[in-house]
Chain A
Amino acid sequence: MSAAPVAAAGEPTVPAVRERLGRWLAEHSAELAPFTELPTDVDGVFASLSRLQRLLYEAGWIRLGWPAELGGLGGPMILRGVVSEELAAAGYPPPFSFGTQEVLGPAIARFASPELAASALPRLLSGDETWCQGFSEPGAGSDLGSLRMRAVDEGDHWRVDGEKIWTSWAQYSDRCVLLTRTAPQEAAHRGITALFVDMDSPGITVSPLVTMTGEADFCSLFFDGVRVPKDRLIGKVDGGWAVAMFILGCERGVAAWQRQAWMRWRLAGLVNEADALDGARAGEAFELVHALRLLSRRTLRSLSDGEDLGVRPSFDKLLMSTAEKYIFDAALEAMPETLLFGGPGPARDWRNDYLYSRASSIYGGAAEIQRNIIAERVLGLPRE
């Protein structure tokens, strides 16, 4: 494997990468075919996506747009958007790490010490490691600033105690980007510190939680006297809110880009499969996906140019849930027998995606929060 990866064999421009990747996908279609239909259980999905990630890493595709010192192949960040889009357009699922890679990866690159970033990020890209995002708590969901997990300075380490919930894929994770409280509760969002925690540290208990789809997509985490070395700080002490907001910006914006590419592919499938799909419904679904594409494209370009995202990703997130729910409502309306009675295979996928779409207006900041942000910070209406 000493030869240069195929992804790097050419110009690092958007059209050139799109063309190269398209060719590679076509040439490897037999090898990639198993990934178009994922297993039904969450363990199987994880194993399958890990293999896909390894394949894409070795060819270099998911190293594009990351600097060499972080394990990448260089080139503008926007190339990452091309790769995720072309994969989705060809009907492949986003490799497992794509979510974390685009949501947590940029925050580590930006806020962690260069040493920590250089040691951690290559392992994320290669799929050697999986990360999770320890934000929500039983008492702090939409009101994230009131979180209570304590981190106490004990000289050469932090001692962490408390509870996290809705932590996606934590049962498979090697590391966690964790938000902790390091100042009194009254300091609210000004007293939060972000830490990069090894999930095999003594004192962490991971309990899978089953979602309404029937699979354990997320977990609750208990921390009991967990020691976290001082060099695992992300950003500044009591400066974790900036890290959290940056991560949420990526989650709302970049994730929306991946999601729109996937939605476009799902909608094309729906138009093909469902004869009973009403024309105006199909048109409106495409309208929403198109609008989401334009919003998230802007976010991606801003990130790639190193611009501040501000509150704009709130638009992306609000529309992402609107579009996703709309498409699967349309699917249910057009194919009730399939969704309600169908067996395994495509019917199960439509059913799961329908159910999963219900959460899209809740995770990553509920739709109500996004509307508050737009009203107060874009329109300038009075705060509560």
Chain B
Amino acid sequence: MNSSMDAEDLRLLRESLAHAVTDAGSGGLRAAVAGFGWHELLAEHPDAAVSTLATLQGEHLTATSLLDDVVLAAAGIKETARVVYPDLPAAEPTSRLEGGTLLVRGVAAATGDERAVVPAVRDGEPVIVTTDLTGAATADPAAGLDPGAGWALVRTESRVRPDQVLDGPEALARWRAMRAAGQRALAYELIAIGRRMLAGAVEHVGTREQFGRRLGAFQAVKHALADVRLWQECAELAAEASWEDDPVEPARLAKILAGRFVRTAAANCQQVLGGMGFTWEHEFHRYLRRGLLLEPLLGSAARLRADLGSRLRTDGVPKLSAL
């Protein structure tokens, strides 16, 4: 409805991009997506590009994320680089610039470009630092909850020259644009993850019988999944609406509602899946892992609600999504 492309074009795009993603296999995603012309699409129709690809990343639990590409494009940065996001679950930079030393503390893609864009804080103000991650200490991604996701903690420090640092209002504006674009993309990815959890749960309770009837006929089960479905509806509408106004608040809200959806899905779907959902064989845990990892990236729902609350105090209740 709000897309800059019409529904039929969007459907075709989704279909062909899905083929590209499926055929890419492990590690080949960036090349496949680039070959598809997705980056040009991102420049022309960011809503279509982000909503389709982020959704596919969630559905396929891809080993590579194009989040950096989305975030850099929003900041108008043309060169490829890795972005160092705030430590979980924060939505403000956790890296610091003190004197000429950059203390990198955050989360980034485990592999990729050596060049990195690091949103950081200097004397309480956001700055954007371009640096090099060669030899940077990243925690072993294989040790984490979701090694296949390709994300790792980054802990390093380096000396930076003044020409590597963007500061002032320009840095603030860029950081806000980067954060909003990232939150929006993550919202679509989380929604896709929640939808897969829900689809698995619906399939299970619609076929498995206990006490002589299908699990889905029990009202307790119905209500648990109806709640998940309610939050899906809200999260989807919020993601769509995040393209309407200045993106800072709508993107934050989209991420909050996507977080709520995926958390409710994780709890309620797992419960009704019973023992099956606790097995390695069942796909549920793969979506749970990815959901747990991405939900706090660029701000957990809990952290973002608190941030939003302080904004309401200082600036009043915003007017969004006009009729």
A382-B219 Cα distance, complex, nearest whole Å: 10
Interface residues of B in 270-323 (CB under 8 A from A): 302, 304-310, 312-313, 316-317, 319-323
Q: Which of B205, B234, B260, B307 has the most CB of A within 10 A?
A: B234
- Do the beta carbons of A315 and B222 come within 8 Å of each other? no
In the complex, which of the residues B198, B223, B230 contacts A319, with contact meaning CB atoms closer than 8 Å? Answer: B230
Say whether A300 faces chain B, with CB atoms less than 8 Å apart. yes
- Do the beta carbons of A294 and B234 come within 8 Å of each other? yes
Q: Please give, as numbers and ranges, the residues of chain A lying within 8 Å of B214 by CB-CB distance.
A: 382
- Do the beta carbons of A381 and B309 come within 8 Å of each other? no
Say whether A252 faces chain B, with CB atoms less than 8 Å apart. no
A380-B216 Cα distance, complex, nearest whole Å: 9
Query: B260 — nearest CB in chain A belongs to which residue?
Result: A287
- Interface stretch (choices A27-35, A142-150, A198-206, A274-282): A274-282
Type the 1/0 row for B198-211, where 1 means its CB is closer than 8 Å to any CB of A: 10001001100000
Q: Please give, as numbers and ranges, the residues of chain B lying within 8 Å of A264 by CB-CB distance.
A: 317
Say whether B217 faces chain A, with CB atoms less than 8 Å apart. yes
- Do the beta carbons of B229 and A374 come within 8 Å of each other? yes
- Do the beta carbons of B241 and A294 come within 8 Å of each other? yes
Q: Which of A82, A318, A371 has the most CB of B within 10 A?
A: A371
- Do the beta carbons of A375 and B313 come within 8 Å of each other? no
Interface residues of B in 223-243 (CB under 8 A from A): 223, 225-227, 229-230, 233-234, 237-238, 241
In the complex, which of the residues B213, B226, B241, B312 contacts A379, with contact meaning CB atoms closer than 8 Å? Answer: B226
- Given the known interface contacts A280-B306, A294-B241, A368-B223, the answer about A381 and B217 at a Cβ–Cβ threshold of 8 Å is yes
Say whether B48 faces chain A, with CB atoms less than 8 Å apart. no
- Do the beta carbons of A291 and B257 come within 8 Å of each other? yes
- Do the beta carbons of A268 and B316 come within 8 Å of each other? yes
A279-B312 Cα distance, complex, nearest whole Å: 9
In the assembled complex, how far is the CB of residue A321 from the closest CB belonging to chain B, in whole angstroms? 11
Say whether A43 faces chain B, with CB atoms less than 8 Å apart. no
- Do the beta carbons of A85 and B216 come within 8 Å of each other? no
A372-B219 Cα distance, complex, nearest whole Å: 8
In the assembled complex, how far is the CB of residue A242 from the closest CB belonging to chain B, in whole angstroms? 24
A284-B256 Cα distance, complex, nearest whole Å: 9
In the assembled complex, how far is the CB of residue B201 from the closest CB belonging to chain A, in whole angstroms? 9
A142-B60 Cα distance, complex, nearest whole Å: 42
- Given the known interface contacts A291-B257, A371-B223, the answer about A297 and B323 at a Cβ–Cβ threshold of 8 Å is yes
- Do the beta carbons of A287 and B202 come within 8 Å of each other? no
- Do the beta carbons of A291 and B234 come within 8 Å of each other? yes
Say whether A378 faces chain B, with CB atoms less than 8 Å apart. yes
- Do the beta carbons of B229 and A294 come within 8 Å of each other? no
- Do the beta carbons of B217 and A384 come within 8 Å of each other? yes
Say whether A293 faces chain B, with CB atoms less than 8 Å apart. yes
- Do the beta carbons of A381 and B317 come within 8 Å of each other? no
- Do the beta carbons of A280 and B219 come within 8 Å of each other? no
In the complex, which of the residues A283, A368, A374, A376 contacts B312, with contact meaning CB atoms closer than 8 Å? Answer: A283
Sample of 14 more A-B contacts, CB < 8 Å, known A267-B317, A283-B256, A290-B253: A271-B312, A271-B313, A280-B306, A280-B309, A283-B305, A283-B312, A284-B305, A286-B317, A294-B241, A301-B323, A376-B222, A381-B205, A382-B213, A383-B217
Interface residues of B (CB under 8 A from A): 198, 202, 205-206, 213-214, 216-217, 219, 221-223, 225-227, 229-230, 233-234, 237-238, 241, 253, 256-257, 260, 302, 304-310, 312-313, 316-317, 319-323
Closest 10 CB pairs of A and B: A279-B309, A283-B305, A375-B222, A283-B308, A283-B309, A381-B216, A282-B309, A371-B226, A291-B234, A294-B237
